Structure 1
């Protein structure tokens, strides 16, 4: 049976200030926990059901992590999602390290993306299209939010995020000469835009307000996804997928 202190500790990680205080976050569900085990994250402990432990005993042994067996009911009471009936892990957060664009690399930038589900989806989309670096404004939602981790489906182990003042970031990389491509209503058609072969930065803005005026001044190319129907707007996750898909059609890895 789990101790009261462990239960209290895990529950505290649902709140940002305690994640920051402890430098830790939780991961729920078999797929995400298995991907966490194969990543370079430092893992504090893993809680598993007997069924999970039996099925993945060789993996758990190979990674030499602290494992505690619990019931499915205990997991459901601990996590954020009632459907988790297999495993839960607690790992250490990573340092918020500067991400510099490498030669011929595309990086993604998020300006005030607030919805955790959107951020998790964007991380997963970035992973699909081979984007490994995302630079986020300070008010973009926390990557270690349980809803972000759940929506990312393990892709958070392969995509690095850096939170910073975006104005300051542009000042620090101004000598790289990268084109900065921003998604704007009223921009040039995405289907007519030629993505530079030597890489660049693709910016996606806030769900309601788009890219801020402060960040807009650094944009070299404003492009839009043409609308053919009557919908008012696209979800930022879907829009990111369209932007990256068109980029990869022109600039394959």
Structure 2
């Protein structure tokens, strides 16, 4: 099929948050992310647009035929955010917000004002590596469905539940469920000497502002011991180091 001007305009509009929110959709691009989506089965597919030369078409017709639209390479280039798009462009339904589950012994990650999409995507991927299945972001943090977040998560977005809301009230709720609240801070206790609880909330703040004062007041501050002269660590890198110590 050939995409109409209105269809091209619609698919391109999903690169903007305003229209993603309006439609309740987001976009994934490329074969690898698409395969991760199909394997995880945690999001509902809206439409699959795939180039006519793809080897995946016959297989997709069996289970996903009602979503499938075969398009030209030229049309894919018109709607893609990539310079060199890879075969497939998929619109996916956004998930509805759900409450955090505090019933099990686990580590939950809270992100306070993390605004860089690459950092959020990498943090989601890192959380997935360490078996963290829940992340709560402050409402000031970057949007989950930003294309750079989706791509940099490398498919982990489909396996880790990421939600948004007021972090202060969530910290209070976690404390009521006997979770230890730890906040990363340059002046905190050396994490290599710390005795971690089996029920832990780790709060990571932005590199420029750190964790908010209100949340810090309810938290125990921990830090990564510094050996060299670097001023600070990237928040995604720091998250990985601390999760490694907790796990």
| TM-superposed deviation, 1:152 | 0.7
Kept in 1, the 8 Å contact 2:3–2:71? The answer is yes
The CA distance in 2 between the partners of 1:170 and 1:76, in whole Å, is 45
SS of equivalent residue, structure 1 residue 231: coil
| TM-superposed deviation, 1:8 | 1.5
CA deviations on 1:118-172 (whole Å, 9 max, x unpaired) are 0011111111111110011001111011111011111111111110011122233
| TM-superposed deviation, 1:173 | 3.5
1:200-215 → structure 2 map (5 Å cutoff): 200-215=200-215
TM-score of the pair, normalised by structure 2: 0.93
The CA distance in 1 between the partners of 2:166 and 2:231, in whole Å, is 30
Give the stretch that moved more between structures: 3-12 or 15-24.
3-12
The CA distance in 2 between the partners of 1:234 and 1:73, in whole Å, is 42
With over 3 angstroms needed to count, the CA separation of the structure-2 counterparts of 1:213 and 1:33, relative to structure 1, is same
Kept in 2, the 8 Å contact 1:181–1:222? The answer is yes
The CA distance in 2 between the partners of 1:122 and 1:151, in whole Å, is 9
- 2:53 corresponds to: 51
CA deviations on 1:46-85 (whole Å, 9 max, x unpaired) are 1112333x24632452344411122333323312221322
Kept in 2, the 8 Å contact 1:127–1:159? The answer is yes
The CA distance in 2 between the partners of 1:3 and 1:36, in whole Å, is 27
- 2:158 corresponds to: 157
CA deviations on 1:1-60 (whole Å, 9 max, x unpaired) are 1122221111111111211111111111111111222322111111112333x2463245
Question: Is 1:228 aligned to residue 234 of structure 2?
Answer: no
The CA distance in 2 between the partners of 1:174 and 1:247, in whole Å, is 18
Kept in 1, the 8 Å contact 2:190–2:222? The answer is yes
Aligned residues: 245
- 1:239 corresponds to: 238
- 2:193 corresponds to: 192
The CA distance in 1 between the partners of 2:128 and 2:61, in whole Å, is 25
With over 3 angstroms needed to count, the CA separation of the structure-2 counterparts of 1:90 and 1:71, relative to structure 1, is same
With over 3 angstroms needed to count, the CA separation of the structure-2 counterparts of 1:65 and 1:246, relative to structure 1, is farther
Kept in 2, the 8 Å contact 1:183–1:204? The answer is yes
| TM-superposed deviation, 1:216 | 0.8
Kept in 1, the 8 Å contact 2:42–2:159? The answer is no
The CA distance in 2 between the partners of 1:179 and 1:112, in whole Å, is 21
